[in-house]
Structure 1
Amino acid sequence: VVKSIYSSVKQVSDTLLSDTGNAFRKALLVEFPHEGSWTIAFLTGTPAAAVATHLAEEHVSVYVPTTPNPTSGYFIIVPKSRVRDLDMTVDEALKYVISMGVVVPRVRAIPPSVPKTLPSGTPALEVTQSRN
């Protein structure tokens, strides 16, 4: 049992801490912890085949970090249609989370593909300038 736990922890730490690792592939916005409440999350991949076969539509695996310690958080599987890509790097998103929203990433133009309303019908915010 100890050997199994050790090898699992080692594999995770090697992936997360490696210079070439891409554990967090993209910064996202997901509805969490309930509908109408949005948070920063990181794309970690797609659900394992054993999980995906039980899901009706395409889903993605994401990690939702807690603030100010992003090493604790939630691993959730959400419908791909309910995820919004963010126009910020993974590093910018991590700084934003760790700073509890105080260190705001530089604003870029909102791509035309971003919907004017979110799935819940709430208008999407359009930021036009940086707070920095």
Structure 2
Amino acid sequence: MTQIKMTLKGYLVTGLLLWLPVAVTFWVLNLIVGTLDQTLNLVPRSLRPEALFGFNIPGLGVLLAVLILLGTGMLTANVLGQRLIDLWDGLLSRIPVVKTIYSSVKQVSDTLLSDNGQAFKTPILVQFPHQGMWTVAFQTGPLPHAVNSELGDGYIGVYVPTIPNPTSGYFVMVAKADTKPLNMSVDEALKYAISMGMVAPAPKAG
């Protein structure tokens, strides 16, 4: 009887390991599609699928969002579009409260998404939260002069992600001599950290 229970438990765990990633993947995709579908609210009701065809078309909002992003990107590729963006930035930068939120988000997004951004370029090992305990972290951009004048040039900015949600974490400034470089790509280091060490990258040749 015990053997049967162990066998059934093994089958259950195997089935769970097979279906859990699939279920989570589809849940995340459904969340993303559902959120982006809200962009259809920008379209007049008379032009929405339910008014034209009598039924909703899932994912149409995703297409609309992609088209909006592509159109905005193409608009900023010329001088006129860049001037319009500068005017928009100037307008938002003059509105109290809004300017604080907008400028902060813009600086972070420019750092994270731009080709010349320096965010998360170098995976490293850092002792955190105390000496003798190591964790995977990522070196960020250079420290400002005001910080270097207090700490010295030997310190670097480091982002330590929390697990399992790497979008939140801790920004700390540590001595570069107290860190160790990781022979991993950013994707490999993130995957290793998020999996809590269970998904290790394949050894590199040489």
Which TM-score bucket, shorter chain as reference? 0.7 to 0.9
Aligned residue number for residue 192 of structure 2? 96
SS in 2 for 1:45: coil
How large is the Cα RMSD of the aligned pairs?
Answer: 2.0
Count of equivalent residues:
110
Amino-acid identity (%): 61
Secondary structure of 1:30's match?
A: strand
Which ranges of structure 1 fall in alignment gaps of 5 or more residues? 111-132
Alpha-carbon distance, 1:108 to partner: 3.5
Q: Please tell me whether the aligned partners of residues 46 and 59 of structure 1 are also in contact (alpha carbons under 8 angstroms).
A: no
Q: Does residue 64 in structure 1 map to residue 160 in structure 2? A: yes
Which is greater in Rg?
A: 2
By relative contact order (CA 8 Å, sep 6+), the higher-ranking structure is 1
Contact 2:157 2:174 in 1 (8 A): yes
Structure-2 residue corresponding to 1:37: 133
**TM-score normalised to structure 1 length:** 0.74
In the TM superposition, residue 88 of structure 1 has moved relative to its aligned partner by: 0.6
CA distance in 1, matches of 2:198, 2:114: 28
Q: TM-score, normalised by structure 2?
A: 0.49
Structure 2 residue identity aligned to 1:5: I
Q: Which residue of 2 aligns with 1:81?
A: 177
**Paired amino acid for 1:29:** L
How far, CA to CA, are the matches of 1:20 and 1:55 in structure 2?
Answer: 26
* The one of 14, 36, 40 aligned to 2:110: 14
CA distance in 1, matches of 2:117, 2:147: 24
- Post-superposition Cα deviations, 1:40-81, rounded to whole Å, max 9, x if no partner, equal 000113211001100145111110001111100011110010
Give the Cα–Cα distance (whole angstroms) in 2 for the partners of residues 50 and 21 of structure 1. 21
